[in-house]
Structure 1
Amino acid sequence: MPRHQPGSSLRAARELYLEVTKDPSARPLVVASWQRSLEHRVKSGSLDAPYLDNPNLDSPLARAALPILDRLHEQLADDPVSMMITDRNGVVLSRKVSHEGLTTNLNRVRLAPGHVFAERYVGTNGIGTALASGRPVMIAGREHYVEALRDFHCAAVPILHPTRRTLLGAFNLTTIRQGSDGMLMAFARSVAAQIEGEIAAITSRRERALFHDYMEACSAVRPGPVLALNRDVVMMNEQLSTAVTGPDHYALLDHAREIADSPRTEGMRSLALPSGRVAELRVSRCRREDSDAGAVFRVRLIGRPQPGPAVSAAPARSGLALIGSSPNWLRAVDDSRAAFVAGTSLHLLGEAGAGKRTLVEALHRAHGAGRRLEMTQPPLSDAPAVTEAWLHDIGELLAVPSHVVVVRDVHLLGDQLRQRLGNLLTHLDGTAGGQLILTGQPSMVGTGDQLDQLCGALVEVPPLRRRPADIEHLARFFLRKYRPSGESGLAADALTMLQRCPWPENVRQLESVMRGLARRLAGPMIRAEDLPPECRVASHKVLTTIEALERDAILRGLMDHNSNVQRTAQDLGISRATMYRKMRRYGIVPSSLG
């Protein structure tokens, strides 16, 4: 979100609004939306509503809203009114309309399922403005920013989660009939309230189902540590809460949330904890009425906690010129090295940027003398000729005994191509050939996957947030790399902030931050105030470029205004409610900005 001088672009938006609409009332909410439309550089003379394939109709919002829309659609048959439900990004999930003329008009402006009607794409409109402002809005006729939408009257109401009060989406009514704005808005509010009520009922049923399965696990003859969670609820018994504390506690919860968010994942999983222990997780899905209510984890802890190195200690090396002394990192390196040296096929699982490729290249440098490293990725097309050629190439590479063949990002393979690759590897198994290494991201395929079964070793590379002791040594390594003169050091407050950052893009993101600091700063010491905005948030979410710009604008505004939320919201042209919603989304805590 671009920054602007207070009042300047708001005045320009107001002047443009008055010129186009001739409306002297110039409602502040609508003018603020026109201001955002100008900042997003939306073209008023053309409509650009992007299209997304297969919108998610399995969300709690869609499951709650669609039956309600179906019932109301029967009651409004042949009325020139359209009902729509959108997700929080403005993607139209469903549209109900039976009036032929209105259907034609809506199709003309692409106000249909799959299209995105966020303000950043189509300017001021009922859906986008309700989502951006966090308030019910009526956008009538010329109040629309884009000319093609000015025949419509739209009443939209944000839909919030019943307990978290986070934005889920919006309910929208659209008509071409004038003079019924008050009735339209009252109806929209009523339907949105019904949808929120149904979401609350679904949430309650999910929580009861999860609680039932959790209690059943705790009531076993030998229950052991038990954890149950979904996006709304976390439950753990006393055995788990006393056995797993500190960094181990956060690492376990973080990993469990990733698994719970992937409905296909169940069975046995292993997690190396920061203390050096291993947590074996038996994952059971909680399913009711064809929906996923969360996951129950029966936990078995293996080993004893190992004393961690002092922060000031020199970094322990793995013997492969890799930085890191955390027990879970060293275990991943040792297990990978054992498989590589033995010639066993290896599957490396880890988040993007965690160091999978770096680990493979280090193994090859240290133990791959006389062997050629070949890397390939999933094909860009699903066309039969392309996939056939890709599989043929892998077969040819593996036919050479001196080859180490790395297939990267196998989590991106479609089910059919995944199965065909598995069949190829099964056919090659037992023949004298090259060594296979697969890399991919965890929690994106179910357990018992064919590729996992074909690999002799499965190793999980820990994300950086589970290696807090390594952050200082990695940061100093990257500083030396990009400023070889060694002029810069890390102040204690900067190091503390780096260690608290969740690093959603892992080591790759830390390297990017240190490279920017090394090139931008000339002083001998890097302090907390020198760190970029991304180091001041608590969210694990990987952001798009636009989201990162919006997050940084909010952070800079808060820092400029001494963490004053109201003044920052005014500067950015958004409501205080929207400001708080975006702060929650990006993990921004004003009191921590200092």
Structure 2
Amino acid sequence: MTRVPEGQKFSDPGSDATVMAAWERFLDGASRPSDSLRALVDRSWQRCQQQNVDPDKRSAPPPVEESALESLKARHGELLEAGAPIMAYARDFLSETGTVMALADTSCTILTMEGDNPTIGSAESIHLLPGVAWSERICGTNAIGTALAVGEPVQIHSAEHYCAGIKRWTCSATVIRHPHDGEIIGVVDVSGLSETYSRQSLALVVTTASRIENKIAMREMERRYHLLDASLRRWSGGTDGLVLFDRRGYPVKANELAQAAMSALGADLDLAAPRRMPALAIADNGTLAQVSGVPAWLRPEWLEPVIGSRGERLGTLLVLPLPRLGRAISCEGARGLSREPAAAQNMPTGFATIITHDPALRDAVRKADQLARSKVPVLLLGETGVGKEEFAQGLHKASPFRDGPYVALNCGGLSRELLASELFGYVDGAFTGARRGGMVGKIEAANGGTLFLDEIGEMPLDLQPHLLRVLEQSEIYRLGENVPRKVSFRLIAATHRDLRKEVAEARFRMDFFYRVAVTSIRIPPLRERTGDVRALAEYFVARFAKQHELGPRRLDEELLARLESYTWPGNVRELRNVIESVLLMSDGEEAGIDALPPELLGMADAPVSAPVASALGALTATAQVGSIAEGEVDLIRRAIAATHGNLTRAARELDIAKSTLYQKVKLYGLEGDIHRVRAN
């Protein structure tokens, strides 16, 4: 939402004569601005003079041809569609005050106008018309151009205009920002002759811009619903990494294999903190925008258009293939591979899928089994990939709600709008394009059962009190509904974040934290679980050999030793993916160490470029390294030193993904090394 910033943003009609005198002195070369001249205006005049704007200009240039204007309107159809009803609603107020409202694009070209007809007639004399560009560079200081130049609400009155021919006018304007990322997409302005000056004009444009932004936000949410519906068939099963991008090139949804595939490719795209990929924005003609900066790792054949019911392109699906075995392998002797490892035995009911020899994890399972019999919320704490989902399902299977539904939702994979509708649902007609009959939200769907909210630390602050109210009062309102619905469910939440730290830094509500964390269970990471790597590896070998019909498979001792020496930043999920990849990349019955990816070889076996090799030196056979992890730390330290703390260069020289390097820096506590190197 656009807000008027603190400070003096209003013009003072009473100082018009002194402002006019200051303008004349400014044109004569006075170096010091008048005390009556606002800093906003002084800076704008300076810009105008630097751009050689003619201060004697009597009007803006003539409007563009009608065909060119229609083309501009078509290009900014969404902005015009959102602004039309709001500007029409303001028509009566504009007529009463003798003012007009203009909507302009980011080049300051007016697209449409509403308001007082006599004033519109007067505006023609200065070419305040649709099809005319009112940027500072063309028309000097004016509300439209100056608002776009500073990105804030501004009011420019009479003598404050830079060009002489416009000094009979008063105007207020502010920028319109896209609600998703704050990108400026237009300007709204209210103008009139000087005698119509009012401070309320600035409030009117700010309110109008906010309402237009809200309209666009609602339309964006509808588009994303259609996009998710149109791509729904692609999310079931499969072994590919999938990332769904909207029409502006923002990732909307990703499956759990996507980040692993991105890291393997060295892709500089962190799905935990999604950012726009302009190369995947959709142009007006429905094709991808042809812009520079297409990532080198992205292959065109990995992109699939997502087409709507009317044939329009809604977005793009990025399909990241994982390694495939090049030829078919006989499935003879596959029998008997479904044997469950001994580590899974003697586990409480509901937790039999958890494989471990580790006392700490067994203690966590014991605690979970004990808590399962209660109805209080449980918070699962642990790094990404440790098995929080398995704990949540175990808690459900052993709980009083076990006969009810188990409903899971990842709070980190959706935008704020989509997360709200996924949680609370919506009624029929809640917005244009909503499903007939509305949609049941995840909370309501979990009625009588268990609701598992993964990555609850990613939930936006403004949604937390709404869910808190549901937990406190056991009732829910669907979006667009005024009648509450009673619900009863057991909440299980999970996060990899330190929520107490998030509360202290005002990124998570304290009252919400204490409600979802009535009890908590810490799930230890895989690197702390002695013996579990081998047991899990054996289990995944049996599972994937059967799944892919590979025949008998086993891992040799050298490979198992490497697996046990690795630190597993991605925990069990990473181990699972590595085992699947190893099996698919191995032809023989016994998989050896050569099938491992380079990062599991401790980087000693990975190629290092000549510049870094000479700067760092090699790890020699005589180096006193107690484990692969220690060698990895040593090599990363030297890479950081050689590249002066530039992690992008360090990752490139070490031949690993930057996201992988960030994980290892955090894992080994090397942030201090980076700060010291950069400081020297």
**TM-score after normalising by structure 2:** 0.38
Whose relative contact order is higher, 1 or 2, with alpha carbons under 8 Å and at least 6 apart?
1
Question: Larger radius of gyration, structure 1 or 2?
Answer: 2
